[in-house]
A and B are shown apart, each in its own frame.
Chain A
């Protein structure tokens, strides 16, 4: 049956990608790069493991699990948003970037926003 090696490869790839994401979490230098590793590759790893499980139950048990499909869609939607929120919170609370990073467009954007409407900022201070 052709489905069995496909399922095995999907689950193996998912496990390898998750392991790579864990290595990235250890090796990368600052919060932003680590979050880059943690969100993208962990999402892809979980998605391919879940897809493998879904295909397994579909072909071998004859069960189309809508819960698993819902889980795939849900992880696909929410995991990048979680990464976005963590990085944004880290930037707003002033976590420094890596020394060798050279572009910081968000700093310019925040400065321009403060310049365009300075009243609420001053009243806060």
Chain B
């Protein structure tokens, strides 16, 4: 191959990765009242990382996000378990969820639910599992 570094693809992916990551965050936050949630948000941010790895290479992608994705999966599962066990503190059954309205600075009145924490665990687990699968397939030459 003449040169595997394609300037058009690299420049475009620099722009589009930001759009995809933003949309993934939007999907994650919108999951309570709209289509979205932790699963497709996690899949979409994994897709952004795969796009980076396609446009550059795996080493550059690891420099952009220097984490071990096994730990990401484990952290997601731990967050999900502890968000379920948090209901024991209030004497409620496992995985009981609650929500309330809070007034945050800069954002106004926001509905915050404990299901959000569980969804964060799902998000991290999905990102970790997807990236582990893709990297372990893609790294063998």
By beta carbon, the residue of chain B nearest A85 is B9
- Docked complex Cα distance between A66 and B9 (Å): 25
Interface string of B121-133 (1 = CB under 8 A from A): 0000000000000
- Docked complex Cα distance between A85 and B4 (Å): 12
Smallest CB–CB gap between B10 and chain A, Å?
10
- Docked complex Cα distance between A77 and B20 (Å): 12
Assess whether B12 is in contact with A78, with CB atoms less than 8 Å apart.
yes
By beta carbon, the residue of chain B nearest A66 is B26
Assess whether B16 is in contact with A74, with CB atoms less than 8 Å apart.
yes
Q: Binding site of A, secondary structure by majority: helix, strand, loop or mixed?
A: helix
- Docked complex Cα distance between A60 and B19 (Å): 27
- Using A81-B9, A84-B8 as known contacts, say yes or no to A74 and B2 having CB atoms under 8 A apart: no
Q: Is B88 an interface residue (CB 8 A)?
A: no
Q: Is B23 an interface residue (CB 8 A)?
A: yes
Interface string of A68-88 (1 = CB under 8 A from B): 001001100110010011001
Interface residues of A (CB under 8 A from B): 67, 70, 73-74, 77-78, 81, 84-85, 88, 92, 110, 113-114
6 contacts between A and B (CB under 8 A): A70-B19, A74-B16, A78-B16, A81-B9, A110-B2, A113-B2
Task: Given A92-B1, A113-B2, A114-B2, output 20 extra A-B contacts at Cβ < 8 Å.
Answer: A67-B23, A70-B19, A70-B23, A73-B19, A74-B16, A74-B19, A77-B12, A77-B15, A77-B16, A78-B12, A78-B16, A81-B8, A81-B12, A84-B9, A85-B6, A85-B8, A85-B9, A88-B6, A92-B2, A110-B2
